[in-house]
Amino acid sequence: MQTNQGWALHTDKYQITMMYAHWKNGSHLKRKAFDLYFRKLPFGNGFAVFAGLERAIQYLENLRFTEEDIRYLADQPEHYDPSFLDLLREFRFTGDVYSMQEGTLAFPNEPLLRLEGTVMELQLVETALLNFIGYQTLIATKAARMRTVAENDLLLEFGSRRAQETDAALWGARAAYLAGFDGTSNLKAGEQFGIPTSGTHSHAWVQDFESELDAFRAFAKAFPDNAILLVDTYDTLKSGVPHAIQVGLELKKQGHNLAGIRLDSGDLAFLSKKARKMLDEAGLTDTKIVASSDLDEDTLLNLKSQGARVDSWGVGTRLITAYDQPSLGAVYKLVARDVDGQWQPTIKISSNPEKVTTPGVKTVHRIIDRDTGKARGDLITPAHKGLDEKRPLTLFHPVHTYRKKKVHHFRAVELLTPVIQKGQRQKDLPTLEEARRYHQQQRSLFWEEYLRLLNPEEYPVDLSKDLWETKQELIQNIYRQIREENGK
Ligand SMILES: Nc1ncnc2c1ncn2[C@@H]1O[C@H](COP(=O)(O)OP(=O)(O)OP(=O)(O)O)[C@@H](O)[C@H]1O
Ligand SMILES: O=P(O)(O)OC[C@H]1O[C@H](OP(=O)(O)OP(=O)(O)O)[C@H](O)[C@@H]1O
Ligand SMILES: O=C(O)c1cccnc1
């Protein structure tokens, strides 16, 4: 469970190995900068929804090696020097974290977070940060796709029983809510994050009575104004819906209202239309229809296009497990080293141009057209230099540089802001409700072309000219060096 203590060993062994080797080398306190980002959007979506910061900050603020952790490390075959273990006993995160806000629409190759600090602390935290942010961003993005197709229908997260263990269920429920779900069935997520909770009943309730009608009556008696009856245990249209209507009418006579029925199998479009008609004809026009059963955004879209009469959708497995793409593939890359008090940019080359890192201590600006109020692109620039809104800006594609555009009347919103400085939190993070509202507002900054589910337009993420030049220079320097070493 996500207690705050004892997470220091939630890391890959090679982080401790590098920390030790740096310590032996006397370089463990040298300052570095790392970027956390992803390279490819999940699910073919046009954007990702940044999530996981709250969890990440809790982790960094409480990062300690417990005595048990130290004993465990002392027993490792590496036989770490006891003085190194003493250093770990005193370990605290003392670095700086610059981050996007949760709920921000994020795009490939732009830093979601930038961390500055000693190499020792920044290596230690890599694994956990990728774990938290990668998972939550993935689920928030999946949830956002469902929000798009569900339009104004209610979306309920039902996935805990199918999630990859406890944290995935809890933080996944939070990520889904952040990106527009309306509630969760997980009470712990409700308790911990204040997410509205709701639910119906299972087949076991119906099977446990002599008849379906008895089961519905007993349930309605317990919850006269908010019972949602599951109608597919035996036969939806011949048994479940008629019994629910009978109980609904009995409730009505007593001055109550049957809140809803739930369809959990069969042709959900056909059944929902039939059920709606039967309920309406019986005068139960306020009784809502909930649908569940292996739903995802594609099925949901399809069902809506078939005219399904569903008010509220319960979504489990395919949301909480990010069914069609189980990992975001986020990365955490060294981008600069402090050499004699100056940041020196560093690069990782790859034969795949998309995998070449962008060097330097950087920030991200969202360029918003003042005339339309819409985002024109994101611009990555060296950090701490600001961006002059009064001068026209030329944005160009970092690979196909001939693709350029000039932006005149814009405002630039810096997306990475300081959250932790010298290990101390700078401000309260937004509440989950605020982050959820912020996410909705952020969506309105983007043209539909970027938001659609299928084959969205690629949103521009560009490098400033100076950054682009630094990158080219570093690439050329490295190749020159390799040629020289090979005597060519
Ligand atoms: N009208 C429809 N159009 C497209 N997909 C649908 C429609 N109705 C239901 N579905 C989807 O089709 C799938 C049906 O799955 P499947 O046939 O395995 O089970 P089921 O009908 O739910 O029955 P059971 O739960 O008893 O196995 C689900 O993913 C469901 O969401
Ligand atoms: O289908 P999901 O999107 O994962 O949503 C959660 C499912 O969990 C429940 O099913 P249950 O565990 O009773 O099993 P079932 O799938 O056989 O109905 C519920 O009835 C949904 O069908
Ligand atoms: O409340 C429900 O109907 C529910 C909750 C979790 C999973 N399936 C259904």
The answer to whether 269 and 287 are in contact (CB under 8 A) is no
Q: 456 CB under 6 A from ligand 3?
A: no
Look at 41-50, 217-226, 343-352 and tell me which has the smallest mean pLDDT.
343-352
3 state SS for the chain: CCCCCCCCCCCCHHHHHHHHHHHHHCCCCCEEEEEEECCCCHHHCCCEECCCHHHHHHHHHCCCCCHHHHHHHHCCCCCCCHHHHHHHHCCCCCCEEEECCCCCEECCCCCCEEEEEEHHHHHHHHHHHHHHHHHHHHHHHHHHHHHHHHCCCEEEECCHHHCCCHHHHHHHHHHHHHCCCCEECCHHHHHHHCCCECCCCCHHHHHCCCCHHHHHHHHHHHCCCCCEEECCCCCHHHHHHHHHHHHHHHHHHCCCCCCEEEECCCCHHHHHHHHHHHHHHCCCCCCEEEEECCCCHHHHHHHHHCCCCCCEEEECHHHHCCCCCCCCCCEEEEEEEEECCEEEECCCCCCCHHHCCCCCCEEEEEEEECCCCCEEEEEEEECCCCCCCCCCEEEECCCCCCCEEEECCEEEEECCEEEEECCEECCCCCCHHHHHHHHHHHHCCCCHHHHCCCCCCCCCEEECHHHHHHHHHHHHHHHHHHHHHCCC
Stronger pLDDT, 264 or 2, i.e. the higher one = 264
Q: How far is the CA of 298 from the centre of ligand 3 (A)?
A: 20
pLDDT at 321 over 70: yes
Q: pLDDT for 82-91, tens place per residue?
A: 999 999 999 9
Q: How far is the CA of 271 from the centre of ligand 2 (A)?
A: 17
Provide the CATH topology of domain 141-321: TIM Barrel (3.20.20)
Both tokens assigned to 126: 């890599």
For 26, the token pair is 């006397």
How many CB atoms lie under 10 A from the CB of residue 86?
A: 10
**Tens digit of each residue's pLDDT (9 = 90 or more) over 42-75:** 999 999 999 999 999 999 999 999 999 999 999 9
- Residue 249 scores a pLDDT above 90: yes
How far does residue 466's CA lie from ligand 2's centre (Å)?
54
User: What residues flank ligand 2, with Cβ below 6 Å?
Assistant: 158, 161-162, 202, 264, 292-295, 314-318
Q: List the one residue out of 134, 196, 148, 49 whose CA is nearest residue 332.
A: 134
- Closest atom of ligand 3 to 316 CA is 7
> For residue 6, what pLDDT is reported?
83
Which residue out of 293, 295, 321 has the highest number of ligand 2 atoms within 8 Å of its CB and is therefore the one to mutate?
Answer: 293
Residue type, 93: F
User: What is the value of ipTM here, to two decimals?
Assistant: 0.97
Asked whether 293 lines ligand 1 (CB < 6 A), one says yes
What residue owns the CA closest to ligand 3's atom 3?
Answer: 200
Q: What is the whole-number distance in angstroms between the Cα of residue 422 and the centre of ligand 2?
A: 47
Give the closest ligand to the alpha carbon of residue 301. 1
Q: How many Å apart are CA 132 and CA 278, to the nearest integer?
A: 46
Token pair for 366 = 């969202």
User: For residue 422, is pLDDT > 60?
Assistant: yes
* Tokens linked to 408: 């005149």
Q: Where are the domains of the chain?
A: 23-60+97-137+328-481, 141-321
Angstrom distance (rounded) from CA 445 to CA 412: 13
- Ligand 1 pocket test: pick from 146, 231, 263, 293 the residue with the most ligand atoms within 8 Å of its Cβ: 293
> Stretch 255-276: mean pLDDT, rounded?
98
Residue bearing the CA closest to ligand 3, atom 7: 158
Burial-class residue 91 by CB neighbours within 10 Å (0-12, 13-18, 19+): middle
**Quick one: pLDDT band at residue 3, thresholds 50, 70, 90?**
low
The whole-number pLDDT of residue 427 equals: 87
Average pLDDT over the chain reads 96
The mean per-residue pLDDT over the stretch 251-266 comes to: 98
Residue 423 Cβ contacting ligand 3 at under 6 Å: no
Tokens 């593939």 sit on residue: 329
Residue 343 CA to residue 366 CA, distance in Å, equals 24
pLDDT at 54: 98
Taking only the tens place, the pLDDT of each residue in 105-118 is 999 999 999 999 99
- Can you tell me the mean pLDDT for 429-439? 98
Regarding the domain delimited by 23-60+97-137+328-481, which CATH topology (the fold level of the hierarchy) does it fall under? nicotinate phosphoribosyltransferase (3.20.140)
Asked whether 16 lines ligand 1 (CB < 6 A), one says no
Predicted confidence band of residue 4 (pLDDT cuts 50, 70, 90): low
pLDDT at residue 360, as a whole number? 97
Average pLDDT in the 374-386 region? 95
Average pLDDT over residues 383-408: 91
Which numbered ligand comes closest to the C-alpha of 320?
Answer: 2
Residue minimizing CA distance to atom 5 of ligand 3: 158
Cα–Cα distance between 305 and 191 in angstroms, integer? 36
If DSSP states are collapsed to H, E and C, what string results for 404-457? Answer: EEEECCEEEEECCEEEEECCEECCCCCCHHHHHHHHHHHHCCCCHHHHCCCCCC
Decide whether 23-60+97-137+328-481 matches 141-321 in CATH topology. Answer: no
Query: Is the pLDDT confidence value at 30 over 60?
Result: yes
Q: Report the relative pairing of strands 48-49 and 105-106 from DSSP bridges.
A: antiparallel
5 pLDDT band, cuts 50/70/90, is low
pLDDT of 385 higher than 90 = no
Q: Both tokens of residue 120? A: 């020792």
Ligand 1 pocket member 311 (CB < 6 A): no
Query: Is 60 exceeded by the pLDDT of residue 219?
Result: yes
User: Cα dihedral sign for 296, 301, 305, 311?
Assistant: positive
Residue 158 C-alpha to ligand 3 middle, in angstroms? 5
Q: Using only C-alpha atoms, what is the Rg of the chain? A: 27
Model pLDDT, residue 354: 79
What number of other Cβ atoms are within 10 A of residue 101's Cβ?
18
| Ligand 2 atom, smallest distance to 319 CA | 3
Predicted confidence band of residue 7 (pLDDT cuts 50, 70, 90): very high
Phi-psi region of 337 (alpha: psi -120 to 50; beta: other; left: phi over 0): beta
Cα–Cα dist 161/185, whole Å: 10
> Ligand 1: distance of its center to the CA of 236 in Å?
14
Q: What is the pTM of this model?
A: 0.97
Q: Does residue 366 surpass a pLDDT of 80?
A: yes
Looking at the chain, the whole-number percentage of residues with pLDDT higher than 70 is 99
CA of 264 to the centre of ligand 1 (A): 8
Return the pLDDT at 350: 85
pLDDT at 352: 84
Assess whether the C-beta atom of 184 lies below 6 angstroms from ligand 3.
Answer: no
Residues in the chain: 488
Rounded Cα–Cα distance for residues 412 and 444 (Å):
16
